[in-house]
């Protein structure tokens, strides 16, 4: 099991340069998405190297759970003994070769099953390939950070001589790219129930990629789980393989900022490697069931990994948790099987164990056999017909602005492309990733046909890109829309998050008349992001500009996490600035209901206003509403007005917005700030007697800030104060 502490630094990020245009696009799109979902996934960026012994590795728990069955325990004991003895034989053979290891490369066929809840976690082929790249570099010691291995361990650092390849044939002999995709809310569980697709575990290393793993999320106290796997057994478990979070696969896309080594660690367990901290310092006790073969087989059964008292975090090179006098026996925090964030090596003894597993007929030898390589298509791979899929750098642009389209086809690799861009320049292209300009505003379709020696495929996307009129905006300082004509105007854009459910006209409920827009919860996937985007609005020479809008929403229960955010862009959607967000009780305008919510009168609508004087300028602005489904009910929006008029919104000098969640909390809270005028702020928490119990200086690089706070506070009520030169906010906090 691989855990991420909320204070675990993810500083390293290598860039995958294969298919560079696609990767550039994915990185751009990721940072655009990140601006939208940053309040949902808040990661602290400092490494805390202490007090992590409360983190339990579920790999060890699975291992110990298996031992509760006496028959299984006998099987595991026999397996461990067989692996140990085979590894010792391999080590002796290597000594006879004068320490020259065998030149054999073991190749493991891989299938990646993407089990996704929404398109946000339906990761790309490029991100999956990047994850396999990291895996291969680490197992062949081709990783760029091998120079960071300390001198005392360089002599035992090992090229594991293992290669991982995505399968090219599925179990039925059909063409495949080694990736399956299944949309299911089981992705939110990330447990054994999420393993909805399983290929023959004797022939493929199955890797499942999900939204969550286990019942932990980034907001959980004590850290959360990134992945887990099962130890090799004669009688394989049904879910034999590796499961990990989508944002832990590779280093790009949703995993940008990650080092990609969760998979390296979990595959190590899959190949019979234990944690270096197994058994603590003396090989008895600790987290693993050491002593399974007798206490003389202590810790992780590898002589060249010094004993470690408990898992390491951060990168403290002086850590010597077992007080070893020998400098070569300090904690080997570089080892991929620990948790530190400066991992860069396996050892020769670990290699011997892995090779033992890959050569034992009752464990994993079938995987690396020549016959299985032919069966899975990794030797003499067949040509597969590509499945045409296209994407675009941005779906909302302005007139005379260039935008790049990308072929992200799957199954087979195309060798030729034919694009059609009605209304664009050029109107057609044979390039793989063409750039197009649109001179006129509107909504345009795009078609792509791809082919290779195995066949061809084509796809057409209707209203794939929206073009706003920036040179001559339709609206100057004033724009209103109440949807009373029963449709969404062409000058507005609706972006579906991927589940086919998006903002639609609704005929029988409005905040002031009969009609509005609805985002129905009936077909909306949890975690889905749906967008409603305004036309371009000219603000030059405007005075007292304000946005007004009405919304209505009811939750199903108090645990729902739905959220509405309002953004503004000054550069035609290239960059977005969050102005306001609504969640929890601030979003709910009616009582919870398990039936389908429809507002029944003015009392179930909220009218909101936001001042836009800070965004008056020569370039037009675009406003975006983003709703994130958190399991609640129908959401309605109506009567959007922008223009000059009485400012009934929060004054600009005090417009900063603060959200604390969860609230009540058991000790950890997420802090989200919007519309900050100040960059330097002071956060203070006081109890009801007026005593300051927590304080922290904050610095924001922009108008928004998201972070986590670990609070060691007694149960009770507190006041959270945020102060700056132009900021004064206060909110109540309940600690359970």
Is residue 342 within 8 Å of 146, Cβ to Cβ? no
Examine the residue annotation and report whether 266 is marked as an active-site residue of this protein. yes
Cα gap 390→418, rounded to integer Å: 11
Is residue 300 within 8 Å of 346, Cβ to Cβ? no
Quick count: other Cβ atoms within 10 Å of Cβ 692? Answer: 10
Tokens of 707: 């972070």
In sequence order, the β-bridge partners of residue 436 are: 403
Is residue 628 within 8 Å of 578, Cβ to Cβ? no
The Cα-based distances of 707 to 353, 659, 730 in angstroms read 42, 11, 17
Long-range contacts of 277-285 (CB under 8 A, 24+ apart): 277/307, 277/308, 277/309, 277/310, 277/311, 277/312, 277/338, 278/60, 279/307, 280/307, 280/308, 280/309, 280/310, 280/322, 281/307, 281/308, 281/309, 281/321, 281/322, 281/323, 282/307, 283/307
Among 321, 329, 317, smallest CA distance to 280 is for: 321
Is residue 134 within 8 Å of 261, Cβ to Cβ? yes
Is residue 309 within 8 Å of 323, Cβ to Cβ? no
**How buried is 715 (Cβ within 10 angstroms: 0-12 exposed, 13-18 middle, 19+ buried)?**
exposed
Cα gap 242→164, rounded to integer Å: 14
DSSP structure class, residue 61: H
Tokens of 688: 């009801």
Cα gap 373→167, rounded to integer Å: 9
CA atoms within 13 A on the CB side of 620: 25
Is residue 632 within 8 Å of 522, Cβ to Cβ? no
| CA dihedral of 126, 130, 136, 141, whole degrees rounded to 10 | 150
The Cα-based distances of 599 to 337, 586, 665 in angstroms read 54, 16, 31
The Cα-based distances of 697 to 391, 679, 684, 724, 728 in angstroms read 42, 11, 9, 10, 14
Cα gap 23→43, rounded to integer Å: 23
Residue with tokens 């022939």: 203
CA atoms within 13 A on the CB side of 119: 15
Cα gap 186→34, rounded to integer Å: 23
Look at residue 36 and give its three-state secondary structure.
helix
- 279 Rama sector, left if φ>0, alpha if ψ -120 to 50, beta otherwise: left
The active-site residue, picked from 70, 80, 93, 266, is: 266
Which residues are marked as active site? Answer: 266
């Amino acid at each position: 099991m691989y855990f991420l502490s909320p204070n675990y630094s993810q500083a390293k990020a290598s860039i995958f340069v294969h298919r560079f245009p696609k990767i550039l696009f994915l990185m751009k799109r990721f940072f655009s998405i990140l601006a939208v979902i940053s309040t949902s996934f808040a990661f602290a960026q400092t490494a805390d190297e202490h007090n992590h012994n409360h983190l339990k590795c579920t790999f060890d728990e699975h291992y110990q759970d298996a031992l509760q069955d006496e028959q299984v325990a006998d099987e595991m004991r026999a397996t461990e003994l067989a692996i140990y003895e085979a590894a010792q034989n391999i080590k002796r053979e290597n000594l006879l070769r004068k320490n020259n290891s065998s030149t054999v490369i073991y190749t493991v066929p891989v299938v990646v099953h993407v089990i996704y809840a929404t398109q946000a976690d339906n990761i790309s082929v490029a991100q999956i390939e990047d994850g396999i790249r990291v895996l291969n570099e680490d197992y062949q010691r081709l990783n760029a950070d091998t120079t960071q291995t300390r001198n005392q361990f360089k002599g035992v650092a090992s090229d594991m001589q293992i290669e991982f390849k995505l399968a090219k044939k599925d179990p039925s002999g059909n063409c495949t790219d080694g990736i399956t995709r299944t949309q299911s809310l089981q992705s939110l569980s990330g447990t054994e129930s999420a393993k909805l697709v399983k290929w023959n575990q004797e022939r493929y290393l199955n890797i499942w990629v999900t939204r969550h793993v286990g019942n932990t999320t980034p907001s959980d106290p004590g850290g959360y789980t990134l992945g887990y796997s099962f130890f090799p057994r004669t009688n394989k478990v049904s879910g034999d393989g590796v499961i990990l979070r989508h944002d832990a696969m590779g280093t790009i896309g949703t995993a940008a900022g990650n080092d990609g080594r969760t998979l390296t660690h979990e595959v190590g367990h899959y190949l019979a490697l234990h944690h270096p901290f197994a058994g603590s310092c003396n090989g008895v006790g600790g987290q693993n069931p050491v002593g399974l073969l007798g206490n003389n087989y202590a810790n992780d059964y590898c002589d060249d990994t010094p004993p470690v008292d408990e898992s390491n975090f951060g990168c403290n090179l002086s850590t010597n948790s077992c007080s070893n006098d020998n400098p070569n026996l300090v904690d080997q925090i570089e080892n991929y099987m620990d948790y530190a964030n400066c991992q860069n090596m396996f050892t020769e003894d670990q290699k011997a164990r892995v090779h033992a597993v890959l050569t034992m007929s009752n464990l994993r030898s079938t995987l690396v056999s020549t016959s299985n390589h032919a069966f899975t298509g990794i030797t003499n791979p067949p040509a597969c017909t590509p499945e045409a899929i296209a994407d675009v750098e941005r779906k909302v642009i302005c007139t005379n602005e260039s935008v790049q389209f990308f072929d992200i086809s799957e199954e087979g690799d195309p060798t030729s492309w034919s694009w059609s861009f009605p209304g664009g320049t050029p109107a057609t292209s044979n390039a793989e990733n063409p750039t197009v300009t649109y001179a006129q505003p509107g909504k345009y379709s795009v078609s792509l046909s791809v082919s290779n020696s195995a066949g061809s495929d084509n796809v057409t996307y209707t209203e794939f890109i929206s073009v706003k009129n920036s040179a001559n905006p339709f609206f100057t300082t004033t724009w209103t829309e109440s949807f009373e004509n029963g449709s969404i105007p062409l000058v507005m854009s609706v972006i579906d998050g991927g589940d086919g459910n998006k903002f639609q006209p609704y005929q029988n409920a409005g905040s002031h008349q009969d009609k509005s827009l609805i985002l129905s919860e009936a077909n909306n996937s949890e975690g889905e992001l749906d967008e409603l985007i305004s036309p371009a609005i000219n603000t030059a020479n405007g005075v007292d500009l304000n946005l007004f809008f009405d919304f209505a929403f009811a939750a199903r229960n108090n645990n729902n996490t739905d959220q509405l955010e309002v953004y503004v862009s000054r550069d035609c959607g290239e960059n977005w600035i969050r102005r306001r967000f609504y969640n929890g009780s601030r979003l709910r305008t009616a009582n919870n209901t398990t039936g389908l919510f429809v507002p029944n009168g003015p009392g179930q609508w909220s009218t909101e206003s936001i001042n836009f004087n800070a965004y008056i300028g020569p370039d037009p602005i675009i406003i975006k509403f983003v709703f994130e489904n958190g399991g609640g009910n129908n959401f309605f929006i109506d009567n959007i007005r922008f223009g000059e008029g009485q400012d009934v919104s929060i004054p600009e000098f005090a417009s900063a917005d603060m959200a604390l969640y969860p609230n009540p909390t058991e000790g950890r809270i997420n802090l989200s700030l919007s519309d900050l005028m100040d960059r330097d702020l002071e956060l203070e928490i006081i109890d009801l007697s007026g005593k300051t119990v927590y304080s922290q200086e904050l610095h924001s690089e922009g108008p928004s800030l998201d972070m986590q706070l670990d609070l060691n506070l007694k149960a009770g009520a507190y006041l959270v104060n945020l102060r700056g030169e132009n900021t004064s906010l206060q909110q109540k906090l309940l600690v359970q």
